Chains A and B, each alone.
Chain A
Amino acid sequence: MLTAALLGNPNVGKTTLFNYLTGSNQYVGNWPGVTVEKKEGFIEDKVKVVDLPGIYALDTYSNEEKISKEFLEKGGVDVIVNIVDASSLNRNLYLTLQLKQFKKPIVLVLNMIDVAKSKGLRIDYEKLASKLGVIVIPISASKGIGIEEVKKLLKSGNFFSPLNENDYQYTDDEKKNYKFIEEVLAEALVKEREEVITIGDRIDSIVLNKFFAYPLFLFVLYIIFKFTFTWVGQPLSDAMDEYAIGGIVSILETLLQNSSPWFSSLIIDGIVGGVGSVIVFLPIVMTLFLGISFLEDSGYMARAAFIMDRIMRKIGLSGKAFIPFIIGFGCSVPGIMSARTLESEKDRKLTALLVPLMSCNARLPVYALFASIFFPGNESSVTFSLYLLGVVIAILIGLLFKNTIFKKDEEPFIIELPEYKMPEFKSLMRNTWEKGKGFLKKAGTIIFSMSVIVWILSNFNFSGMTDMESSFLANIGRAIAPIFNPMGYGTWQSAVALLTGLMAKEVVVSTMGVIYGVDLSNILLQYFTPLAAYSFLVFVLLYTPCISVIATMRKEFGNKMMVFSVLYQLVLAWVVSFVVYNAGRLIFG
C-alpha cells in the first residue's frame, strides 16, 4: 500500500480534502489549528493518506512541525501531497520548497482556484509544474472540483513523471528561496486586474479596527448568549422540562402508585430527578454550540484570535493560544491537548493552566439552572458575565504567572485570516449534533450512575435505610460544608453537589435533582439568596473541572503540574467566590 502525506499551511483546506479523499468525517474548521495530531484515512485500501498538522515552515520548533518532520523522515512516505492556497501562492510555496529536501515526489494541489480567479489571478499550471518539478492539480475542495483527479493519481501510483525530477534543490538560505519563488511566480502567475477591495476586506476594516474590534467581539458573543438563553435554547429547554420530563414523571407516578415508597423514590427522585434535571439542558448546549460553530465556520473565530493577540501577549502568550481557549469553551480536555500546537514548553504549560478557566459546556447546565431560578429575565446577562469572568480571571492569572513562574520572551504570532464564508448547513448541523450526542452519552452513563449512587448515599447509613438528614451523604456534606459558609452556601447539599461535580460538572445539577427532588426551581430558592447563588456559580466556574481534566493534565505535563493545577484552581475558586459574595453584601446590603 502507498503512503501519501497530506501537508500544507494552516487553513488551506487539508482536512476538507482529506475527508473527500478518504470518505472520513473529520471536523473541518474555518480557522487554523484544527489538525493537532496526524490522522489517517484510506483510499480503497490502495493508498494510506496521512493528514499532518498545518504548518508554515519546517524550521521552527512547534510540536506540529516536529510531528510533520518526523513523519516525513521516518513514516515511509511514498508521495507528498502539498495542498496550497492558490490565491496566496507566494506565501504557501515556501513550504513546498522546504518539502523538496525530503526528495519525495510532490503533488502540488492548488486549492481555492475559484477564489484565486475571483481575485483576478491566472495561473499557468504547466509552467508552475515544470519550474517547481512537481505535479500540479488545481482544485476547489469546498466545491468538490478536481478532487477525483487527485484521487485517481494517488491510486495509479504514477508520481514519477518526467516533471518530477527535482531540478531545484532546497537551500537553507531563506532569501534565496523567496527569490526563487518570485522568479517562478513571475512566469507562472498573471494578475489580470489589480486587486479590488472585496466585501471581506470591508468587513475586516470594521472587525479588525482597533477601536471597534473588542466591543464588536463582545457584542457578537452577547448575541450568541441571547440566542441561547432568550430566543431559542431556553424556551426549548423549558418546553422539554414541562412536557417531556413532566410527562415522564406523571406517567411513572401513575405506574408506580402501588409500589413501595423507596422503589418509587429510586426511580422518580433518583433516576428521573438526576438524569432528567440535566437532560433538559440539551437544547441550551446545542444552541450555544450552533452559535459557536457558526462563528468558527464563517471565519470570524480566526479574526477573534487575531484581535486577542494583543491581550494574549500581555499575559505572555501569543494569539495562537487563544485557539486552545476557544476549544476549552467546549471541553477543557481537548483544549489542554491542543496546547501542543504552541511553540514553547512554557507556552504549553501556561495555556494548559488557563484553559480550565474557560467555561466548558459541562458547566452550562449549572449556570442555566441557577440563572433561570434566581435571575429570571436576565439569564443571558448572568451566563454571559460568567463566561466573561472566566476570561478576565484567566488574563489576571496569566499576568501573575508571566511575572513569576513563567517568565519568558514574547514570540511573534502569524495567523492566516481565512476568507469569510457562509457556513454550510450540513457542517453546522454535524458540529452541533456532535455536542448534543456527547451530552446525551454523558447523561446515559456517568450522570445516570452518579444519580443512582447519590440516591443510595442520600437514603442509607450504616443502620440501613434512613431519612436524608442522617444519610451517608449528609454526613460527608456536613464535614465539608463549613468551607463554604463564608460564601453563603455552606449547606451539606451544596457541599456534596460540588464534591460529586468533580466527576463531571453536570453532576452538580443531577446531585441537586436527587437531593431536592424534581421541583428544583422552588426548593433552591429556600437554600440560596441570589447573591449566594451567583457566588456558587463563580465557584463552579473556577474550581477544578473534572477528573478527566486532572488526568489529562497528568498525562500531558506530569504529576507536579497536575497537583499544582488542582490546588491553584481550588484556592482561586474559593477566593474569588468569597470576594464576590462579600463585596456583593457590602454593595447590596
Chain B
Amino acid sequence: MEIVITVGIVALAAYIFYRSTSKRTKGECECGSCSSHCPMYEEKKNNSK
C-alpha cells in the first residue's frame, strides 16, 4: 500500500513539475501572482476567445 501511494505521489509531482516547467520556460504565467491586471493573463484570456 505504501508503495502504491508513494508511486502516486511521485507520479503526480513529476507531472506537475513537467507541466509547470514547460509553461514557465515558454514564458507563460506561472508566477503565482495571478492577478487579472497581469498582461500575461490578458493575452491568455484573449487568445482563448
Q: Which residues of A contact B (CB under 8 A)?
A: 25-27, 29, 34, 36-40, 259-260, 263, 266, 271, 327, 330-334, 337-338, 340, 360-362, 431, 434-435, 437-439, 441-442, 445-446, 448-453, 456, 503-504, 506, 546-549, 551-552, 554-555
Q: Is the CB of B9 within 8 A of A452?
A: yes
Q: Is the CB of A331 within 8 A of B31?
A: yes
State A38–B43 Cα separation when bound (angstroms): 9
Q: Is the CB of B10 within 8 A of A554?
A: no
Q: Which residues of A contact B17 (CB under 8 A)?
A: 446, 449-450, 453
Quick one: closest A residue to B29, CB to CB? Answer: A333
Q: Which residues of B contact A506 (CB under 8 A)?
A: 32
Q: Which residues of B contact A453 (CB under 8 A)?
A: 13, 17
| 17 residue pairs A–B, Cβ–Cβ below 8 Å | A260-B2, A263-B6, A331-B32, A333-B31, A362-B32, A431-B35, A434-B35, A439-B32, A445-B16, A445-B20, A449-B12, A503-B24, A504-B30, A548-B31, A551-B24, A552-B27, A555-B27
State A334–B44 Cα separation when bound (angstroms): 13
State A451–B14 Cα separation when bound (angstroms): 11
Q: Give chain A's interface secondary structure class.
A: helix
Given A362-B32, A448-B13, also A337-B6 (CB < 8 A) = no
State A551–B23 Cα separation when bound (angstroms): 10
**Interface residue from A26, A40, A360 paired with B37 (Cβ < 8 Å):** A26
Q: Which residues of B contact A448 (CB under 8 A)?
A: 13, 16
State A506–B39 Cα separation when bound (angstroms): 23
Q: Is the CB of B16 within 8 A of A39?
A: no
Q: Please give the distance in Å from A234's CB to the nearest CB on chain B.
A: 21
Q: Which residues of B contact A503 (CB under 8 A)?
A: 20-21, 24
Given A40-B49, A263-B2, A360-B33, also A551-B14 (CB < 8 A) = no
**Interface residue from A434, A452, A548 paired with B36 (Cβ < 8 Å):** A434
Q: Which residues of A contact B32 (CB under 8 A)?
A: 331, 361-362, 438-439, 441-442, 446, 504, 506
Q: Is the CB of A334 within 8 A of B31?
A: yes
State A462–B3 Cα separation when bound (angstroms): 19
Q: Is the CB of A456 within 8 A of B39?
A: no
Given A266-B9, A434-B34, also A37-B20 (CB < 8 A) = no
Quick one: closest B residue to A50, CB to CB? Answer: B46
Q: Is the CB of B46 within 8 A of A554?
A: no
Q: Give chain B's interface secondary structure class.
A: helix
Quick one: closest B residue to A440, CB to CB? Answer: B32
State A260–B5 Cα separation when bound (angstroms): 13
Ranked 3 nearest A-B pairs via Cβ: A27-B37, A331-B33, A442-B32
Q: Is the CB of B24 within 8 A of A546?
A: yes
Give the size range of B's interface with the partner.
20 to 34
Q: Which residues of A contact B40 (CB under 8 A)?
A: 333-334, 337, 552
Q: Please give the distance in Å from A302's CB to the nearest CB on chain B.
A: 15
Q: Which residues of A contact B36 (CB under 8 A)?
A: 25-27, 434
Q: Which of B17, B45, B46 has the most CB of A within 10 A?
A: B17
Q: Is the CB of A29 within 8 A of B37?
A: yes
Quick one: closest A residue to B14, CB to CB? Answer: A449
Given A27-B35, A29-B37, also A37-B10 (CB < 8 A) = no
State A542–B28 Cα separation when bound (angstroms): 22
Q: Please give the distance in Å from B1's CB to the nearest CB on chain A.
A: 9
Q: Which residues of B contact A452 (CB under 8 A)?
A: 9-10, 13
Given A333-B29, A337-B40, A445-B20, also A39-B10 (CB < 8 A) = no
Q: Is the CB of A548 within 8 A of B27?
A: yes
Q: Is the CB of B43 within 8 A of A37?
A: yes
Q: Which of B26, B31, B40 has the most CB of A within 10 A?
A: B31
Q: Please give the distance in Å from B30's CB to the nearest CB on chain A.
A: 5
Quick one: closest B residue to A362, CB to CB? Answer: B32
State A566–B43 Cα separation when bound (angstroms): 25
Q: Which residues of A contact B25 (CB under 8 A)?
A: 547, 551
State A427–B13 Cα separation when bound (angstroms): 35
Q: Please give the distance in Å from A296's CB to the nearest CB on chain B.
A: 10
State A361–B38 Cα separation when bound (angstroms): 14
Q: What 14 new A-B contacts, CB under 8 Å, besides A40-B49, A360-B33?
A: A40-B46, A260-B2, A263-B2, A338-B39, A361-B32, A362-B31, A441-B34, A445-B16, A448-B16, A449-B12, A453-B13, A503-B20, A503-B21, A552-B40
Q: Is the CB of A334 within 8 A of B20?
A: no
Q: Please give the distance in Å from A447's CB to the nearest CB on chain B.
A: 9
**Interface residue from A34, A259, A435, A547 paired with B33 (Cβ < 8 Å):** A435
Quick one: closest A residue to B17, CB to CB? Answer: A449
Q: Is the CB of B39 within 8 A of A337?
A: yes
Q: Is the CB of B20 within 8 A of A449?
A: yes
Q: Please give the distance in Å from A35's CB to the nearest CB on chain B.
A: 8
Q: Please give the distance in Å from A503's CB to the nearest CB on chain B.
A: 8
Q: Is the CB of B37 within 8 A of A551?
A: no
Q: Which residues of B contact A456 (CB under 8 A)?
A: 10
